[in-house]
């Protein structure tokens, strides 16, 4: 349906725009300018206009963008009109936290099943989500037509578990383990590496500090 080629950087910002549009709409705002949006999402206003323009002329010159129509447009683009079910693989500390995380409110995403090998929790329902044994992965994913999974197992089991997931037909993985898992080319992996991000932050702070000191000299 969509034949438009969207730059990667733009695609990453779309959900961000979408969320702010929801907020604006709830506040009852009818129009919004790229400058206003720019302040809220902290993206240059020209970039916002260009991002939008990939989808056509969505705004009106001298006026701005109509919140409601922009919202409903992005709702379609981002497949927010239908609920997306995802699976959670690995119900440890982080997994449990994600079970309680409300992806649904502004994103229409729902964790509809979870998997683990711990007999103490399999067969139970945690935070409203049934937890199955890993042996049921293939069957459940197929039954529920789920192709996206969140991976939150210990690093040592990351690759082996991922392989099972690919076997079971998973096409997209949000990988919370620090391991860069290798995957078939048909599968997309998004890495969320908490320790690395924190360490990068620290590194930048140190170099900020160093730069400041050398300026003072």
> Does the protein bind its own copies through residue 126 (CB under 8 A)?
no
**Smallest gap from residue 52 Cβ to DNA (A):** 5
Which C-beta is closer to DNA: that of 54 or that of 103? 54
Tokens of 71: 């919202």
For residue 35, give every residue at least 6 positions away whose Cβ sits within 8 Å of its Cβ, in sequence order, or none.
Answer: 45
Nearer to DNA, 44 or 167 (CB): 44
* Continuous H helices in the chain: 8-26, 34-41, 45-53, 67-77, 93-100, 104-107, 137-144, 158-167, 194-216
Q: Does 98 bind its own copies (CB under 8 A)?
A: yes
Angle, nearest 10°, between helix axes 8-26 and 34-41? 100
Q: In the complex, what is the shortest distance from the CB of residue 197 to DNA, in angstroms, rounded to a whole number?
A: 16
Q: Which residues bind DNA (CB under 7 A)?
A: 7-10, 32-35, 43-47, 49-50, 52-53, 57-65
Q: Which residues bind its own copies (CB under 8 A)?
A: 1-3, 6, 11-12, 14-16, 18-19, 40-42, 77-79, 84, 86, 93-94, 96-98, 100-101, 103, 106-107, 109, 147-148, 150, 171-172, 174, 178, 180, 182, 188, 190, 192-208, 210, 214
């Amino acid at each position: 349906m969509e034949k438009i080629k969207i730059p990667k950087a733009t695609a990453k910002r779309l959900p961000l725009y979408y969320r702010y549009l929801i907020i604006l709409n709830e506040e009852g705002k009818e129009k919004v300018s790229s400058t206003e949006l720019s302040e809220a999402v902290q993206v240059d206003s020209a970039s916002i206009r260009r991002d939008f323009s990939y989808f056509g002329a969505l705004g009106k010159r001298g006026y701005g963008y109509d919140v409601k129509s922009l919202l409903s447009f992005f709702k379609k683009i981002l497949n927010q009109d239908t609920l997306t079910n995802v699976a959670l693989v690995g119900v440890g500390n982080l997994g449990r936290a994600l079970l309680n995380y409300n992806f649904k409110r502004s994103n229409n995403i729902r964790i509809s099943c979870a998997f683990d090998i711990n007999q103490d929790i399999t067969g139970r329902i945690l935070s409203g989500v049934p937890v199955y044994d890993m042996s049921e992965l293939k069957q459940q994913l197929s039954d529920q037509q789920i192709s996206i999974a969140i991976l939150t197992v210990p690093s040592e089991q990351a690759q082996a578990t991922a392989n099972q997931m690919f076997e079971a037909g998973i096409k997209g993985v949000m990988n919370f383990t620090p391991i860069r898992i290798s995957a078939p080319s048909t599968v997309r992996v998004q890495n969320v590496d908490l320790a690395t991000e924190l360490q990068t932050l620290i590194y930048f702070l140190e170099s900020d500090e160093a730069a400041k000191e050398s300026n003072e000299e």
